[in-house]
């Protein structure tokens, strides 16, 4: 009897151990491990963090705006992966195993403002991301982007994405990616890349640059000096710019201003910034004028409605007013007057009471 009880206890312990391991390695389906629904600054966030998912779940609310799928085991993004979720603004996919992205995966995410694809197995940037009209922040660091330079040859420039923040750290890059003119880009993180073939003229595409991270790169002394001189000319924060060991003579390492700050590309970038600022100003002015017009129309409508109500009340009061009382004298001669008026249209008939 005791041996049977002992066997039962052992079986229970074994079952609990196996079940715990199943939970740890993700053998329990998504029905048992639910994604969490949150509200972040009035945005609907769904957090499917560290659930050992192998693909993007299709059972979530379609109105999701912040989708966190980080720390999972997703290897491939399909064209249909985000088809139900067209309102996504922030997409977190870092620390997965993503190696391939089917064309059209992101093309319908026109509201996407930020995407984090860092720490995956990507060999290039999905170029359709660069054509999204709202994408401001792109994190694709810690990927081995060995095919990026080749794929960028097919990139349509200027890109439509209004990139402001770009992180391509630790991607094995020999040079800063040539994405064309980026008039709104204010920060780029290219740290932990070799950058041995750094082309200083790439900086001409980034006329609004405010800070850059070039730490732990393999820039030679001249490239380091040129980068520093160019960035200082733009009043860029040089906190993250590598400190050059020695200052080289301009004859050995010429200043890059003749093909950066004075280049046609840089002036085109500046012109596009000025046009964007002018357009934003006109939009602001038009918005203010439109707002004032709406307020005036509302005021006029309220006054008009108030007058209409007052006139309605006056008409109602007039209809409810009692008829004039006919004097006894006129009451006696009333029939005679009516007869007289009905048979003599040329005379003016009136009450002489």
Cα(312)–Cα(54) distance, integer angstroms: 70
- Range 145-164 average pLDDT: 95
- Asked, for residue 267, whether it belongs to a domain, the answer is no
| pLDDT bucket at 25, cuts 50 / 70 / 90 | very low
- Asked, for residue 201, whether it belongs to a domain, the answer is yes
Query: What does pTM read for this prediction?
Result: 0.72
Can you give the residue range of the structural domain that contains 110?
33-262
- Say if CB 44 and CB 64 are below 8 A apart: yes
- Asked, for residue 323, whether it belongs to a domain, the answer is no
- Asked, for residue 171, whether it belongs to a domain, the answer is yes
**pLDDT for 105-131, tens place per residue?**
999 999 999 999 999 999 999 999 999
How many domains are there within the chain? 1
**pLDDT for 51-100, tens place per residue?**
999 999 999 999 999 999 999 999 999 999 999 999 999 999 999 999 99
- Asked, for residue 257, whether it belongs to a domain, the answer is yes
Residue 78 belongs to a domain with what CATH number? Answer: 3.80.10.10
- Asked, for residue 202, whether it belongs to a domain, the answer is yes
- Asked, for residue 6, whether it belongs to a domain, the answer is no
- Asked, for residue 271, whether it belongs to a domain, the answer is no
DSSP per-residue letters across 26-58? T-S-TTTSPPEEEEETTEEEEE-TTS--SS--S
pLDDT-above-70 percentage for the chain:
78
- Say if CB 155 and CB 127 are below 8 A apart: yes
């Amino acid at each position: 009897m005791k041996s049977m009880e002992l066997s039962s206890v052992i079986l229970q312990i074994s079952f609990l151990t196996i079940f715990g391991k199943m939970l740890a390695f993700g053998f329990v389906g998504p029905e048992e491990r639910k994604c969490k629904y949150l509200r972040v600054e009035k945005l609907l966030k769904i957090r499917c963090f560290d659930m050992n998912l192998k693909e993007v779940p299709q059972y979530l609310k379609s109105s999701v705006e912040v989708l966190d799928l980080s720390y999972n085991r997703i290897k491939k993004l399909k064209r249909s992966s985000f088809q139900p979720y067209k309102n996504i603004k922030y997409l977190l996919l870092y620390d997965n195993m993503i190696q391939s992205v089917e064309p059209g995966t992101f093309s319908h995410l026109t509201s996407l403002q930020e995407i984090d694809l860092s720490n995956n197995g990507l060999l290039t940037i999905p170029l359709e991301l660069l054509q999204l009209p709202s994408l401001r922040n792109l994190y694709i660091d810690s990927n081995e982007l060995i095919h990026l330079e080749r794929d960028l040859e097919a990139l349509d420039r200027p890109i439509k994405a209004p990139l402001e923040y770009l992180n391509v750290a630790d991607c094995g890059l020999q040079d800063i990616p040539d994405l064309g003119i980026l008039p709104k880009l204010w920060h780029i993180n290219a740290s932990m890349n070799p950058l041995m073939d750094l082309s200083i003229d790439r900086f001409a595409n980034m006329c609004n640059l405010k800070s850059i991270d070039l730490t732990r790169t393999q820039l030679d002394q001249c490239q380091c000096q040129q980068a520093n001189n160019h960035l200082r000319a733009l009043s860029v924060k040089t906190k993250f710019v590598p400190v050059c060991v020695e200052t080289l003579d301009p004859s050995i390492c010429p200043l890059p201003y003749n093909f950066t700050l004075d280049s046609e590309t840089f002036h085109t970038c500046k012109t596009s910034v000025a046009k964007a600022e002018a357009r934003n100003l006109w939009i602001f002015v038009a918005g203010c004028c439109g707002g004032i017009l709406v307020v005036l129309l509302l005021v006029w409508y309220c006054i008009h409605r108030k007058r209409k109500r007052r006139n309605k009340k006056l008409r109602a009061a007039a209809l409810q007013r009692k008829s004039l009382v006919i004097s006894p004298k006129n009451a006696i001669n009333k029939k005679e007057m009516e007869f007289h008026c009905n048979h003599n249209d040329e005379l003016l008939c009136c009450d002489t009471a």
